[in-house]
Every structure is written in structure tokens, then in C-alpha cells.
Amino acid sequence: MTADQPTLRTAPFADLTPFEVYALCRLRVDVFVVEQQCPYPELDGRDPEPATLHLWFEEDGEVLATIRVLDDGETRAIGRVATAASARGRGLAARLMEEGIRLCEGRAITLGAQAHLQGWYERFGFRLSGPGYVEDGIPHVPMRREPA
């Protein structure tokens, strides 16, 4: 693949190799814990749920960007949106969001957005759905996207 065409991957946890699990977790820890200086419980028990889908872009064996889609019953939730510092500005997270929304099959989708990214999520049809809150020292806002 060329630098302009990383590979989009989608898999439930049970189909991930140990190397993929490591790479996905490492990117999330690099972005959220190290870069944003936000120690939080990365391993929250949601990744291995049978209905959770992991989406990521990979290039030369490196995970460049990732999200996960959770099954919350009547709704779906998108979270753990992370892009490697070296891959930012390529639109990878936006492409993952579009694919994640498509995979939600017409269901309402929720997410907890870092407050400074509210406008970015609004581009995908998400709207503020409640008061802001602080999670792990970072201001967040709850957002929801109704099915099309």
C-alpha cells in the first residue's frame, strides 16, 4: 500500500490476533494516556464483548487510527477514537467514523466527546444530548446521532 492508501480493517475482538490487540491498545494508550496525560482504565471490559467491532487503518503493520463500536442494546456507541500523531491530517478518523456509522445499521449512536471536538463530531450528524462533564480530568460532552 502507498502512504495515501492505508488498509481499513474491521473485526470483533475474537478475530484479532495478539499482535493486533497489542497495536490497537498501544495506539490508544499512546494518545490518551501518554500524549493527553490522562491515566484512565484503558482495559474496561468492553473490547472483548462479542458484539463490539474494532475498526482501524493499518499501514506497513502499524495501526494509524482506530475506533470501536459498542452494542448498548437499543443504541450503539462509538468510542476510543484515536489517531497516531504521525498520521493526523489524512482524514483517517473521519473515514473510520463514516464506516462506524454505516455499521450501526440505522440505530441511534451515542458517544462521549472531548468538549473541544464537539464541532468535529457534529460534522457526522451528532448533536449535544446533555450537560457537559469532566472525565479523567478532561471536559467531555454527551452526543447522540439519530438514525437516518
74-107 pLDDT tens trace: 999 999 999 999 999 999 999 999 999 999 988 9
- What is the C-alpha to C-alpha distance for residues 48 and 8, in angstroms, rounded to an integer? 20
33-89 pLDDT tens trace: 888 888 777 889 999 999 999 999 999 989 999 999 999 999 999 999 999 999 999
**43 or 11, which is more confident:** 11
- What is the C-alpha to C-alpha distance for residues 29 and 37, in angstroms, rounded to an integer? 10
pLDDT at residue number 4: 59
**Cell (9 digits) for 94:** 473521519
Please, what are the domains in the chain? 7-145 (3.40.630.30)
At 62, which helix (H) or strand (E)?
strand 62-71
Pairing type for strands 109-114 and 76-83 reads parallel
- What is the C-alpha to C-alpha distance for residues 12 and 20, in angstroms, rounded to an integer? 11
The separation between the first and the last C-alpha atoms of the chain, rounded to the nearest angstrom, is 34
Q: Between vectors from CA 68 to CA 67 and to CA 69, what angle results, nearest 5°? A: 130
Cα 35 to the center of its chain, rounded Å: 16
